[in-house]
Structure 1
Amino acid sequence: MDNIAGLASTIGNRFATNLRGSFTNMTLEQGIRLVIIAGAYMLLRPYLVKLGMRAQMQSHEEEEARAEAEHKAKISANELRGKVSIPDDTDDEDEATAEASGPDWGKKARRRQRDMIKKLLEAEEQRLRENQEELEDKDIEEFLVKE
């Protein structure tokens, strides 16, 4: 224990002596250089910190975008097929349902969402009908005699 106390005392004495000696033996040129370096550090440090924060933010945003893209890529269109359901036309605000899974939408928002889903489903059905008609036309053309 005595050895550790002596070591700490020696380190403290050497530090104080060397620090005092550094400032007493300093020339005017060395003093000006020290002031310039310390002043430049104090002036530039906030800008360097902001630059570092900006670079870190960009890397976080890139990482988040990459993770989001991976998450979206995991769900394919085939997995979503047949899972779309049209909400009922119940616009009664008095009915309280215990299984509310989404946000509490207003009456107009629910109606707009329901109409949008219906339009999307009708457009998909129309596209499928047109494809079916094209296939039927091709089948009929096979049987027509071309002269």
Structure 2
Amino acid sequence: MAQEPINPMDKLMESSKYFYQEATTALSTWKENFTRNTSESFNQMTPKNWLRLVIIVCTYALIRPYILKLGAKVQQKHLEKEAKESDEKWAAMHPNDLRGGGGPKKKVDIPGVESEDEGEDGQGEVTVGREWGRKARVRQRKIVRKAMEIHEANLAKTGFESEDEDIADLLT
């Protein structure tokens, strides 16, 4: 005797009915518990408990604005300190340092770009989320660095006169 195949719609209907029954039972239980506990807690309050509750609420209402002002002052000081440190860091850099003219080459930290060695060898931890496209970003950085090195080498060979000529051509 062959078994009848199971109809997926019947199985789905049966499961949804069971879920609906369980959900309504749980919600009605939660409602009953909430109403019973709330009414009992207010019925059992003594004058001492009411006075304690009023004092706590009023104290919170009186102190809250001062706590918020104190938090705002601390946050403002922290932001000013960070801004000052950032300004000092960038003020110490001369524009000629950025284009490589003059003295020895320095490494410049570019905001939003991680360290030079980040994932360059293709090794590293695999994480989900913000690390998507990491290899592509590293590959693009390598290409840009190579192009900049080639450009700087060409400038060093020809001198900065050609750059001035290029600028003059663009201005006229």
Which structure has the larger Rg? Answer: 1
Greater helix proportion: 1
TM-score (norm 2): 0.42
TM-score (norm 1): 0.49
